[in-house]
Amino acid sequence: MVVWQSAENSFQKKAILDHLLPTTHDEYVDALVAFAEDEDENIRSVAFDRLKTVEIADLNKRADAAATRRTIRALVRYCVTNPHPGLIARLLNSKRLPWSFVKQYWMTPQEDLWRTLVANKNFILFSHPDRDPIAAFIHAFNHAIADSYREQIKWVTPKELAAFIRPAEEDEGEKMTVTALDAMQAFDIEGVEVGEEELVMPGMEMDVSGALFDTGQGVVAEENEVVDLDSVELDVPDFLLIENPFEGLSREEMERERRKIADIIKDLTMGQRLKLATVGNLEARKILIKDPRRLVAMAVLGNGGITPGEVAALAINPATFQDVIEHIANNRNLSKSYMVKFALVQNPKTPIKIAMRLLEIVRRADLKKVADNKGISPIIKNMAKKRMR
């Protein structure tokens, strides 16, 4: 047995991750993949961050028919922030990728990921049974990608469908019931209203390219000067401030306006970005929440127009920085919605004491989702199971 396989506790696993115990290169990569699905949150986080530094060829080798379910899950999660075409193709070709993993990890409005997926013929065949909700989900955040997906679907032949078999779900307990509509509601994507009582489903993730998210690449250091927002002149078009900026516009016109918004924000000063973060509409918030300066991204959370759906999407995302999770949990205004509280319970980075307190208000109908969530602390899962009795 190799060294990493004999590791019995977090201390030993951390020693392997820190190269304090002898391992070959291949053994170390195997350890990273395995530990990226570890029960210990700290081990899981460190391993997954270091997995992002591994050469793609090393990961491709592990996406084959002999891969374990844990390996496939780790690589599927990797593809959310690093949608490498070759690795995605290997995962699909391995015949080991269950549809539940797609629904759990890839149903996220991540444009680079979906551009890669819709260009893969095996994914088109793989997703064919769910083509209508998938197309609707993509359409909600990028019309061009949705059109490309629909075009690819049209070219699928009955013979190809008959020859393609979706891998079976090995563990019925891990099957997801998340639909594309659930995902759109969870993330408050344009065109779908998120009510106070609707729930963010477990496993959903946002585009994790921003400063509120741990991508392993760090964030831009904050400016040293103090910004007096009252003295900042913010001369921006109304479509960055009003809540329905695209009302009455065609699809093409909306796309042009979105490009304008990105260009305008790109040229703003630090102070102007901070001020816009506090008063801007959803379109502005979508961009500023990913600003490389954490101060700007955090200012979005102080925007009076931010919706429970936006906050819940941050609160449930395991890639969100822990201090952001704690900020949401300790801010009465941000965490007053049931959907935000429920999201915090399901995030492994939510401090145990906070999660335990919030679990007390989780509805009985939702306790099973908490008990079945494989990513959170066993303490919270066991408490949910006791409350179900």
Quick check: 91 and 56 in contact, CB under 8 A? no
Q: How far apart are CA 259 and CA 380, in angstroms?
A: 43
Distance CA 363, CA 361 (A): 6
Q: Rounded to an integer, what distance in angstroms lies between the CA atom of residue 59 and that of residue 171?
A: 24
pLDDT at position 78 is: 92
Q: Which of 9-23, 47-61, 214-228 has the lowest mean pLDDT?
A: 214-228
The amino acid that residue 170 corresponds to is E
| Cβ pair 285, 303 in contact under 8 A | yes
pLDDT digits (tens, 9 = 90+) for 184-213: 444 433 333 333 333 333 333 333 334 565
pLDDT score for 226: 53
The secondary structure of 95-161 as a DSSP string is T---HHHIIIII-S--HHHHHHHHT-HHHHHHHGGGHHHHHHHHHTT-HHHHHHHHHHHHT--HHHH
Q: What's the average model confidence in pLDDT over 272-297?
A: 85
CA distances for 193 relative to 76, 101, 201, 227, 316, angstroms: 29, 26, 15, 35, 19
Residue among 314, 313, 332, 324 at smallest CA distance from 192: 313
Cβ–Cβ < 8 Å for 334, 303: no
Output DSSP code: residue 372: T
Per the prediction, the chain carries an average pLDDT of 80
Residue 332 neighbours by CB distance under 10 Å? 6
E strands within 193-243? none
Domains of the chain, by residue range, sit at 229-388
Q: Quick one: what percent of the chain has pLDDT higher than 70?
A: 84
Distances (CA, A) of 87 to 56, 66, 81, 99, 113: 7, 15, 12, 17, 12
pLDDT band at 233 (very low <50, low <70, confident <90, very high): confident
Taking each continuous run of H as one helix and of E as one strand, the counts in the chain are: 23, 0
Mean pLDDT, residues 236-259: 82
365 pLDDT higher than 70: yes
Is pLDDT larger for residue 175 or for residue 310?
A: 310
381 class by beta-carbon count within 10 Å (0-12 exposed, 13-18 middle, 19+ buried): middle
- 17-31, 124-138, 177-191, range with the lowest pLDDT: 177-191
CB 72 within 8 A of CB 94: yes
The answer to whether 103 and 178 are in contact (CB under 8 A) is yes
Strongest mean pLDDT among 70-79, 104-113, 201-210: 70-79
| 357 token code pair | 């307190």
Q: On the CB side of 114, how many CA atoms lie within 13 Å of its CA?
A: 26
314 membership: H or E segment, kind and range:
helix 308-316
pLDDT at 188: 39
Quote the CA–CA distance of 302 and 165 in Å, as a whole number: 48
**Distance between the two ends of the chain, CA-based, in angstroms?**
41
Which residues are bridge partners to 220 per DSSP?
Answer: 293
- Both tokens assigned to 326: 């704690």
pLDDT at residue 75 in the model: 94
Question: Residue 272: how many CB atoms within 10 A of its CB?
Answer: 20
Instruction: Please tell me the predicted confidence (pLDDT) of residue 175.
Output: 37
Nearest to 271 by CA among 239, 303, 226: 226
Query: How far apart are the C-alpha atoms of 5 and 70, rounded to whole Å?
Result: 14
Interval 149-169: pLDDT, tens: 998 998 888 888 888 887 877
Nearest-10 Cα torsion for 233, 237, 238, 244: -130
